[in-house]
Amino acid sequence: MKVRKRVVISSSIVVALLALAVRAGQQQVRTDSMAGCPMHEQHMAEMNQRGDRAMGFDHMKTTHHFRLLTDGGAIEVTANDPKDTTSRDQIRKHLAGIAKMFASGDFAKPLAVHGEIPPGADAMSRLNDSITYTFEATDGGGRVRIKTGDSDALAAVHAFLRFQITEHQTGDPMEVAER
Protein backbone atom coordinates (compact mmCIF):
# COMPACT_ATOMS: atom_id res chain seq x y z
CA MET A 1 0.00 0.00 0.00
CA LYS A 2 2.74 2.47 0.87
CA VAL A 3 4.63 1.65 -2.27
CA ARG A 4 1.51 2.17 -4.33
CA LYS A 5 0.81 5.49 -2.61
CA ARG A 6 4.36 6.60 -3.28
CA VAL A 7 4.02 5.70 -6.94
CA VAL A 8 0.76 7.67 -7.22
CA ILE A 9 2.33 10.69 -5.59
CA SER A 10 5.43 10.34 -7.72
CA SER A 11 3.32 10.01 -10.85
CA SER A 12 1.33 13.09 -9.88
CA ILE A 13 4.49 15.04 -9.29
CA VAL A 14 5.96 13.88 -12.58
CA VAL A 15 2.78 14.84 -14.46
CA ALA A 16 2.70 18.25 -12.77
CA LEU A 17 6.37 18.88 -13.53
CA LEU A 18 5.90 17.84 -17.15
CA ALA A 19 2.93 20.17 -17.48
CA LEU A 20 4.95 23.04 -16.02
CA ALA A 21 7.88 22.25 -18.30
CA VAL A 22 5.64 22.22 -21.37
CA ARG A 23 4.01 25.50 -20.32
CA ALA A 24 7.39 27.09 -19.58
CA GLY A 25 8.69 25.85 -22.90
CA GLN A 26 5.73 27.38 -24.70
CA GLN A 27 6.25 30.70 -22.93
CA GLN A 28 9.94 30.58 -23.69
CA VAL A 29 9.22 29.99 -27.36
CA ARG A 30 6.84 32.96 -27.42
CA THR A 31 9.27 35.19 -25.55
CA ASP A 32 12.33 34.10 -27.49
CA SER A 33 10.62 33.97 -30.89
CA MET A 34 11.44 37.64 -31.42
CA ALA A 35 14.80 37.61 -29.63
CA GLY A 36 17.59 38.13 -32.10
CA CYS A 37 15.16 39.08 -34.88
CA PRO A 38 16.73 42.09 -36.59
CA MET A 39 13.33 43.52 -37.57
CA HIS A 40 12.05 43.31 -33.99
CA GLU A 41 15.22 44.81 -32.56
CA GLN A 42 15.06 47.64 -35.09
CA HIS A 43 11.39 48.26 -34.26
CA MET A 44 12.17 48.44 -30.53
CA ALA A 45 15.16 50.74 -31.06
CA GLU A 46 13.12 53.10 -33.23
CA MET A 47 10.21 53.10 -30.79
CA ASN A 48 12.54 53.85 -27.88
CA GLN A 49 14.17 56.74 -29.76
CA ARG A 50 10.78 58.20 -30.71
CA GLY A 51 9.59 57.65 -27.14
CA ASP A 52 12.53 59.48 -25.60
CA ARG A 53 11.81 62.49 -27.84
CA ALA A 54 8.02 62.44 -27.35
CA MET A 55 8.06 61.77 -23.60
CA GLY A 56 10.97 64.02 -22.71
CA PHE A 57 12.88 61.49 -20.61
CA ASP A 58 15.26 58.58 -21.12
CA HIS A 59 13.30 55.31 -21.15
CA MET A 60 16.43 53.47 -19.96
CA LYS A 61 16.27 55.41 -16.68
CA THR A 62 12.59 54.69 -16.11
CA THR A 63 10.08 51.86 -15.80
CA HIS A 64 6.62 51.86 -17.38
CA HIS A 65 3.61 49.88 -16.18
CA PHE A 66 0.15 49.67 -17.69
CA ARG A 67 -2.67 48.42 -15.46
CA LEU A 68 -6.03 47.11 -16.64
CA LEU A 69 -8.66 47.77 -13.99
CA THR A 70 -12.38 47.08 -13.76
CA ASP A 71 -13.20 50.77 -14.22
CA GLY A 72 -10.42 51.61 -16.69
CA GLY A 73 -6.74 51.44 -16.00
CA ALA A 74 -3.53 53.29 -15.27
CA ILE A 75 -0.32 54.37 -16.95
CA GLU A 76 2.51 54.43 -14.40
CA VAL A 77 6.09 55.56 -14.87
CA THR A 78 8.81 55.68 -12.22
CA ALA A 79 12.46 56.64 -12.22
CA ASN A 80 14.64 53.57 -11.71
CA ASP A 81 16.91 55.48 -9.31
CA PRO A 82 15.02 57.03 -6.38
CA LYS A 83 17.64 59.83 -6.29
CA ASP A 84 17.06 60.69 -9.98
CA THR A 85 14.86 63.72 -9.41
CA THR A 86 15.45 64.94 -12.97
CA SER A 87 13.77 61.85 -14.46
CA ARG A 88 11.07 61.96 -11.78
CA ASP A 89 10.24 65.56 -12.64
CA GLN A 90 10.31 64.86 -16.41
CA ILE A 91 7.93 61.90 -15.86
CA ARG A 92 5.53 64.08 -13.89
CA LYS A 93 5.56 66.80 -16.53
CA HIS A 94 4.94 64.26 -19.30
CA LEU A 95 2.13 62.40 -17.52
CA ALA A 96 0.37 65.60 -16.42
CA GLY A 97 0.42 66.66 -20.08
CA ILE A 98 -0.80 63.23 -21.21
CA ALA A 99 -3.80 63.44 -18.86
CA LYS A 100 -4.77 66.81 -20.39
CA MET A 101 -4.13 65.71 -23.97
CA PHE A 102 -6.09 62.48 -23.64
CA ALA A 103 -8.97 64.30 -21.91
CA SER A 104 -9.25 66.54 -24.97
CA GLY A 105 -9.19 63.51 -27.30
CA ASP A 106 -5.60 64.16 -28.45
CA PHE A 107 -3.57 60.96 -28.89
CA ALA A 108 -0.67 62.47 -30.85
CA LYS A 109 1.95 61.35 -28.29
CA PRO A 110 1.21 57.61 -28.57
CA LEU A 111 1.28 58.02 -32.36
CA ALA A 112 4.65 59.80 -32.07
CA VAL A 113 6.05 57.06 -29.81
CA HIS A 114 4.76 54.03 -31.70
CA GLY A 115 4.64 55.34 -35.25
CA GLU A 116 1.01 54.19 -35.43
CA ILE A 117 -2.27 54.91 -33.73
CA PRO A 118 -2.65 52.34 -30.93
CA PRO A 119 -5.77 50.16 -30.88
CA GLY A 120 -8.50 51.81 -28.84
CA ALA A 121 -7.16 55.35 -29.25
CA ASP A 122 -9.71 56.35 -31.90
CA ALA A 123 -12.60 55.14 -29.73
CA MET A 124 -11.08 56.79 -26.64
CA SER A 125 -10.92 60.06 -28.58
CA ARG A 126 -14.49 59.72 -29.83
CA LEU A 127 -15.78 58.76 -26.35
CA ASN A 128 -13.61 61.20 -24.40
CA ASP A 129 -16.64 62.72 -22.65
CA SER A 130 -17.22 59.39 -20.88
CA ILE A 131 -13.60 58.90 -19.76
CA THR A 132 -11.70 60.76 -17.06
CA TYR A 133 -7.92 61.07 -16.95
CA THR A 134 -6.37 62.08 -13.65
CA PHE A 135 -2.67 62.71 -13.11
CA GLU A 136 -1.29 61.59 -9.74
CA ALA A 137 2.27 62.23 -8.58
CA THR A 138 3.97 59.21 -7.01
CA ASP A 139 7.20 59.00 -5.04
CA GLY A 140 9.31 58.08 -8.06
CA GLY A 141 7.27 59.59 -10.87
CA GLY A 142 3.59 59.57 -11.65
CA ARG A 143 0.45 57.89 -12.84
CA VAL A 144 -2.43 58.69 -15.14
CA ARG A 145 -5.56 57.04 -13.78
CA ILE A 146 -8.12 56.35 -16.49
CA LYS A 147 -11.75 55.79 -15.44
CA THR A 148 -15.00 55.17 -17.28
CA GLY A 149 -18.43 53.71 -16.69
CA ASP A 150 -19.12 53.26 -20.41
CA SER A 151 -18.64 49.70 -21.68
CA ASP A 152 -17.45 50.78 -25.15
CA ALA A 153 -14.96 53.23 -23.66
CA LEU A 154 -13.78 50.56 -21.21
CA ALA A 155 -13.12 48.12 -24.07
CA ALA A 156 -11.17 50.84 -25.89
CA VAL A 157 -9.11 51.70 -22.79
CA HIS A 158 -8.26 48.03 -22.26
CA ALA A 159 -7.28 47.58 -25.94
CA PHE A 160 -5.07 50.68 -25.69
CA LEU A 161 -3.36 49.48 -22.50
CA ARG A 162 -2.85 45.93 -23.81
CA PHE A 163 -1.12 47.40 -26.86
CA GLN A 164 1.15 49.43 -24.56
CA ILE A 165 1.99 46.34 -22.47
CA THR A 166 2.95 44.44 -25.60
CA GLU A 167 4.84 47.26 -27.30
CA HIS A 168 6.81 48.31 -24.22
CA GLN A 169 7.29 44.66 -23.17
CA THR A 170 6.46 45.49 -19.56
CA GLY A 171 5.29 42.01 -18.64
CA ASP A 172 2.24 43.51 -16.94
CA PRO A 173 -0.86 41.29 -16.73
CA MET A 174 -3.14 41.38 -19.75
CA GLU A 175 -6.11 40.50 -17.53
CA VAL A 176 -8.23 43.01 -15.67
CA ALA A 177 -7.36 43.41 -11.99
CA GLU A 178 -9.66 44.57 -9.21
CA ARG A 179 -8.84 47.95 -7.70
Can you give the pLDDT of all 179 residues of the chain as single tens digits? 444 444 444 444 433 333 333 333 333 333 444 556 766 565 555 555 555 555 656 778 899 999 999 999 999 999 999 999 999 999 999 999 999 999 999 988 877 766 778 999 999 999 999 999 999 999 999 999 999 999 999 999 999 999 999 888 889 999 998 76
- Whether the model clears a pTM of 0.85, i.e. scores above it, the answer is no
Q: Are residues 59 and 118 in the same domain?
A: yes
* Same domain, yes or no: 1 and 72: no
Q: Please state, in angstroms and rounded to a whole number, the distance separating the CA atoms of residues 79 and 136.
A: 15
The DSSP symbol for 127 reads T
150 and 118, same domain (yes or no)? yes
- Is 139 inside any structural domain? yes
> Does residue 178 belong to any structural domain of this protein?
no
Within-domain flag for 124: yes
Which of 144, 61, 150, 149 has its CA nearest to residue 109?
144
Same domain (yes/no): 127, 47: yes
Residue 100 lies in a domain: yes
**50 and 2, same structural domain?**
no
Residues near 134 by Cβ (< 8 Å), separated by ≥ 6? 99, 144, 145, 147
HEC string of 81-120?
A: CCCCHHHHHHHHHHHHHHHHHHHCCCCHHHHHHHCCCCCC
Based on the fold, state whether residues 157 and 82 are members of the same structural domain: yes
* Domain encompassing residue 11: 1-33
| 171 three-class SS | coil
82 vs 78: CA distance, rounded Å: 9
